[in-house]
Structure 1
Amino acid sequence: MSDTVVETEVISDAVQLACRAPSLHNSQPWRWVADDRGLHLFLDRSRLMYSADRSGREAVISCGAVLDHLRVALAAAGWEAHVDRLPDPNHHDHLATVTVTPMDYVTEEHRRRADAILLRRTDRLPMAPAPDWESFERLMRARLADVHADLHADVLADEARAQLAETAHLTEALRLYDSSYHAELSWWTAPFEGGEGIPQSSLVSAAESERVDVGRTFPVTHGAERRPTVGEDRATVVVLSTDGDDRLDALRAGEAMSAVLLEATMAGLGTCIVTHVTELESSRRIIGGLLDRDARPQVLIRIGLAPSLEAVPPPTPRRALQDVLRFG
């Protein structure tokens, strides 16, 4: 890659780890091409969701998350990533080109952050409040400053929580008769084996869903109700927003989302990305009105504490490496 020779195995391992990044309905809308100029990230249009994500904004956010995951994976392997975002103005789906240089040393924090990629799970169950939130928030903001200094992270106050919950319910109501949206959602949560979609083990029952006031309504599962001692969801909601609303803003928002998720995982906290309230422009405007600044909300994240003794759900499936990475 460029003037630095990197073994194919290093690139393959880094991309495979990076592809553990979260994406809308686990659609994994990315593809990678490695050549002598670098490692290139492209939006895979064949994997867009035309009902939930008509503009493709969330797909680009997902690609931003996989880009940050790649940077973390490379650092743990001893390589510093240099990212050129949107390198080709004539090719909008070419989102980034990554070149690398060797690092002087790999720290324990580099390794822990890469380990967090494998430990992270989307937790749709109700969570308890995060202990010592102030300390975590300081860590989160410091990490975001490293990733994207112009991105805003607002922690919603308790009084805004009720308005946020109303907006979440409004969004679901507006889609009640949207048959294409529900068909798309059902397809991505169908109980089949594969390398994509949301497995049944990651879904919640109707009773569990009712205890989470800010969450997407998925097809429900059946079984014993989990976390009865937690009660109603007490997770903190963080809103990531940008001043602008173009493709670069969405990409950088995805990188920041990745940074927050991994920082929370390293702190022993559970996370759940909330995107349905920003998929419709009407509800997105309402969320924007809850912020203290004129900004465009990109994604919301619930961050809380899950009981430490409960069983950890299996990781969600991922596409095979040969389906997402090509050496040119």
Structure 2
Amino acid sequence: MPTTLFDSKVIQDAVTAACRAPSLHNSQPWQWVYSDGQLRLFLDPSRVMDTDQSAREALMGCGAAIDHLRVAMAAAGWKTHVEYFPNPDSSNHLASMSFGPIDYVTERDRLRAQAIWTRRTDRLPFSAPTEWQSISSIWAGGMHGNSVRIDTIPTDLLPKLTDAAQIAESIRLYDSAYHDELHWWTAPFEKTEGIPHSALVSAAESDRVGIERVFPVVHRPERRSEIPEDQAMILLLSTDGDSREDALASGEALSAILLECTMVGFATCTVTHLTELDETRKLLQSLTRPEASPQILVRMGVVPVTEKAPQPTPRRPLSEVLRLRAFD
């Protein structure tokens, strides 16, 4: 097992970066513990949505945090060794991580770590991405040991995604538990979690993006009016199965894709509401791989370079998500 020879600040900085990972409604469903030379990641069941009964989306958020952690540690000069689901008696113990020094830190390591801090979820319409082939080759054939497949949705099939979004909204029109959660996680009084109003869109802006989840709308002057219709490229991440391991791996692949896109200047938005319902998951299967389990959609594209980026979405204090015990 690799030996850790760094002080607590290295772990604190890396976990802070890991917690910039995206999660459903910015719920941040993770708990980290450092002890005995290992960093352990646990699912926090108190932060799993009632509408996410299998905790699939919470696990994807934790998977994204693992990859963010790996990227941050690499930039600090450490390779991360991950043991997944190490304790059969504790289903919420998702991973144990140990670390070993790497020979040198590359410029790419540094750029990936910087992307953690500039990545954000953008729910406004995008222009079509440029230089698409150069970046898509990075994940051609799959990611995370090829257990996560990445498909680009062909342009002629995008109207079917819009249909799926409308079906999802129709099914949930009178689902009070679902709407209560949306309102809770977009409440303006929360300062360390949830989706801030600055990250929400108006009704007119939402109408220009056909596959977005419908959040409570905000009232503000319409933005990005020079893009009359969303021209985003859509990726679908899928797995052969639908296990907890598959969900965690999907989150790791999602993180890798989001950071790669951020590095080349693409805006991104993760879309999961179409994989939350059996009806729309089956529709997604019909578009790409009938034998696979759809996990996540990602919108990506280009936004005006002169546009001012909003403030980063909030995160919980490190003291709430990381427990430090004696360092070896």
Q: TM-score band, normalised by the shorter chain?
A: over 0.9
List aligned pairs for 1:223-234, cutoff 5 A. Answer: 223-234=220-231
1:42, distance to aligned residue in structure 2 (A): 0.4
2:279 counterpart of 1:282: yes
Structure 1 counterpart of 2:33, one-letter code: V
Structure 2 counterpart of 1:25, one-letter code: H
Q: Which residue does the alignment assign to 2:106? A: 107
- 2:263 paired residue among 248, 253, 266: 266
2:322 counterpart of 1:325: yes
Q: Which residue does the alignment assign to 1:32? A: 32
**Per-residue displacement from partner, 1:308-328 (whole Å, max 9, x unpaired)?**
101101100000001000023
Runs of 4+ in 1 over 3 A off after TM superposition: none
SS in structure 2 of the partner of residue 306 of structure 1:
coil
d(CA) in 2 for partners of 1:54, 1:212: 28
1:29, distance to aligned residue in structure 2 (A): 0.2
Structure 2 counterpart of 1:80, one-letter code: K
- 2:313 paired residue among 292, 316, 324: 316
Given that 2:4 and 2:37 are in contact with CA atoms closer than 8 Å, whether structure 1 keeps it comes out as no
2:52 counterpart of 1:56: no
Q: Which residue does the alignment assign to 1:168? A: 165
Q: Please, what is the CA RMSD of the aligned residues?
A: 1.3
More off after superposition, 190-199 vs 22-31: 190-199
Structure 1 counterpart of 2:82, one-letter code: V
2:23 counterpart of 1:23: yes
SS in structure 1 of the partner of residue 220 of structure 2:
coil
2:146 counterpart of 1:149: yes
d(CA) in 2 for partners of 1:169, 1:93: 34
Structure 1 counterpart of 2:35, one-letter code: D
Structure 1 length normalisation: TM-score?
Answer: 0.97
SS in structure 1 of the partner of residue 46 of structure 2:
helix
Structure 2 counterpart of 1:272, one-letter code: C
Structure 2 length normalisation: TM-score?
Answer: 0.97
SS in structure 2 of the partner of residue 28 of structure 1:
coil
Q: Which residue does the alignment assign to 2:65? A: 66
**Per-residue displacement from partner, 1:112-162 (whole Å, max 9, x unpaired)?**
0000000001000000000121112113438x54x3322100000012111
Q: Which runs of 5+ in 1 are unaligned?
A: none
d(CA) in 2 for partners of 1:30, 1:292: 31
Given that 1:242 and 1:298 are in contact with CA atoms closer than 8 Å, whether structure 2 keeps it comes out as yes
d(CA) in 1 for partners of 2:3, 2:223: 53
SS in structure 2 of the partner of residue 39 of structure 1:
strand
d(CA) in 2 for partners of 1:311, 1:2: 43
Given that 2:3 and 2:98 are in contact with CA atoms closer than 8 Å, whether structure 1 keeps it comes out as no
Given that 2:129 and 2:302 are in contact with CA atoms closer than 8 Å, whether structure 1 keeps it comes out as yes
2:97 counterpart of 1:98: yes
d(CA) in 2 for partners of 1:213, 1:299: 16
d(CA) in 1 for partners of 2:278, 2:37: 39
Q: Which residue does the alignment assign to 2:130? A: 131
Q: Which residue does the alignment assign to 2:81? A: 82
2:299 counterpart of 1:302: yes
Q: Which residue does the alignment assign to 1:117? A: 116
User: What percent identity do the matched residue pairs reach?
Assistant: 53
